[in-house]
Amino acid sequence: MSKLCAVIDYGMGNLHSAHGALQAVAGADTRVLVTSDPEVIRSADHVVLPGVGAIRDCMAEIRRQGIDQVVAEVRKTKPLLGICVGLQAMMDSSEENGGVDCMGLFPGKVRFFGNDLVEDGTKLKVPHMGWNKVQQVEHPLWAGIADNSRFYFVHSYYVEAVNPSQVKGRGHYGVDFAAAMGEGNVFAVQFHPEKSHNAGLALLKNFLNWDGQA
C-alpha cells in the first residue's frame, strides 16, 4: 500500500529542496507531493511544514489559507515535521516584525539573536549561517545519527522554549537555543535537513519511517 508525504505549500517555503531531499530518501512505496489542498494534507500519512522568510508574512499566509486549522488537526493523528520558519510558526509568538502571534503548538517565544552577539570576545555575525553542532535529546528521528552532528542553519531568530522536555536538540551560537522541538506526533527543527548532507537526509528518512508518538 503506497504512502503519501504532503509538503505544505503556502507560498513561503523552500519547497524544491525539501521535496527533492524527501523524494531522494523515500521508499518506492512513498510519494512526496507539494500541495496547498487541505484535503490532500489531511489524507497524507506524513506532513511537512517548511518555511523561509519573515514570520509575519508566513503567519499571514498560514491563516489566510487555513493551514493553521489543518495543522491543528493533522498533529493529532499523523507525523508532522516543521523546518526552519516552520518550527518558529509552531511557537506561541515571535519578536520578529514588531511581534507576531504564531500557532502555539509549543509554548515559548522566538527571539532575535541581537546585534551585539559575542562569543569568547568575538562578535558574531547575524544571521547565524552555516554548519553547527546539535546536541541530541533521545528521539526516534535521531536514530543512526551521531550526537553533535553538524547541520546547516540560516536564521536571525531562535527558539526559546518554555518546557525543557519538549527540546529534542540543542544548539549554541552566542546563546543556547532549541535546535529541535518535539512532542507527540510533532517534530520540528531550526536547521535545514534538506541542506545538511548525510545527517539531514538520515533525519528525513527517519521521519518518513516514523509512526509518530515518540
Q: Which residues are catalytic?
A: 84, 192, 194
Q: Which residues contact 115 (CB under 8 A, 6 or more apart)?
A: 126
The one-letter amino acid at 28: A
Q: Which residues contact 55 (CB under 8 A, 6 or more apart)?
A: 85, 88, 89, 94, 96, 97, 100, 102, 110, 157
Look at phi and psi of residue 144 and say left if phi exceeds 0, alpha if psi is from -120 to 50, else beta. Answer: left
106 contacts 161 by C-beta, under 8 angstroms: yes
